[in-house]
Structures are given as structure tokens and as C-alpha cells.
Amino acid sequence: MLSYIVTKNHGTITNTYNPRTYELIYKTVMINNRQARYIVNRDFHMVNGHALINHGRLMYDFGLTRQEAQHQQRERFSTEQNAAMAFALMYNQRSRDEGEEFAASINRHSDGRFSFSGVTSSLAPGNTQCVDSVNLPIFPNTVATIHTHWAWYHARCFTQKDLDLYLHMMVEDNRPLNHYVVNRQGTVRFVSPVSNNTAFSRPRTVFAI
């Protein structure tokens, strides 16, 4: 998400709009005393009101390190869904390339902002097939979990195992959390507790990267 990357690197963004249609034409970004212009739908695309751009372009244009040009664990975002998007941008392609699932907790902080942390993978000790959300480091301020699906055979949505684990966490552990999954195609789907924390909502798509 370009706005967060620019802010954390102490830069600025200026938007230029078509004076007749008021549609966004391009963004002018200044970081490290360098300036670059990015044209919508050519250099970046908009998802949920955020400009998404390849981090390699930012590294080249502004001399940023990979860590500076990408989202990282414990960075803070204004909404839960933005923290989920940051995780998806970081781990969806990596999950596909490496053939493993990644998962994290999404936490709400005292300032009202959100972060993802505690990232684990299916190749971590004790995990032999897929990330088991119940084994995530769930903190007192955790409000959601998120994980990737890389394999075609369960790439579209939550698996039954996912939903069974979430129900166990909610009913047995008294942790009614929201849950996100990033499927192989980069679509992020979501379920939340309903019926007085005895069931989950039908999965719905919240965005696609």
C-alpha cells in the first residue's frame, strides 16, 4: 500500500486528477529527495482505496531497502483489513513460490491501530501439512487471524479444518476472532462470529490483490 510505505519513509504523495471527470490520473511521490510519477492502471492499481505498486519499483526509484519498500510485522495500520492486506501483499506470492502456508495474528493496539505479527509457516517445527491457527501466538489484543492457501486443491476458500479450528477457538477457548484466508489467486476472504459466538458468517470476499 503506497501511502503506508511513503509515510514510513517520511515521504510525500501528491494526487493529480482529471479536471473534468475528477478521476485520478497519477501520483507524484517524493522520498529521499527523489521524485517519481506513477500513472494509475499502468504503474499501480487501486484496491480498497489503496495504491498497490511493486516494491522493486520503489527500491529502484528511491534507493530503498527491501525492508523499507515492503510491509513488515508489527507495522501499524488504520484498520484490521489494511493489516490483512499488508500480510497478503507480503506472503501470498511467497506462499505460492515456496509451496507452504503462512499465518499470523492481527492485533489491535491501544492507539486504535492494527498490526500483524507472530508469522509462522507450515514448515515450522510441529507443522507437517498446513498452518494450525490454534497454535498461533494469540495475544490478549488479538482480534483476527490470517493465513495463506497455496495449493490448488484448497485454494479457493477456507477448508473444513480451518473452520473447525476457528469454532474450537471460539467455543472451547472463548476466543471469538475474525478470520481471513488469502487464496492462491490473491483473493482475501473473511468470516466473523455470529449467533452469540456459536457459529461463523458465510465466507465473503473483502478484496483481491
Phi, then psi, of 79 in degrees rounded to 5? -135, 160
CB 47 within 8 A of CB 209: yes
Cα distance between residue 121 and residue 17, in whole Å: 42
Q: What is the pLDDT along the chain (209 residues), one digit of tens a residue?
A: 999 999 999 999 999 999 999 999 999 999 999 999 999 999 999 998 999 999 999 999 999 999 999 999 999 999 999 999 999 999 999 988 888 889 999 999 999 999 999 998 876 555 545 555 445 678 999 999 999 988 776 656 888 888 888 888 888 888 889 999 999 889 999 999 998 888 899 999 999 99
**DSSP single-letter state for residue 201:** P
- pTM of this structure: 0.88
Cα distance between residue 176 and residue 192, in whole Å: 8
**DSSP single-letter state for residue 125:** T
In 76-156, alpha helices (H):
80-98
Sketch out the chain's domains with CATH numbers: 2-69 (no CATH), 80-208 (3.40.140)
Give strand pairing partners of 207.
188
- pLDDT, tens digit (0-9, with 9 covering 90-100), for 124-162: 555 545 555 445 678 999 999 999 988 776 656 888 888
Q: CB within 8 A of 179, min separation 6: which ones? A: 133, 144, 145, 146, 158, 162, 166, 190, 191, 192, 200
CB 189 within 8 A of CB 201: no
In the chain, alpha helices (H):
2-8, 55-62, 66-69, 80-98, 160-171
Q: How many CB atoms lie within 10 A of CB 95?
A: 25
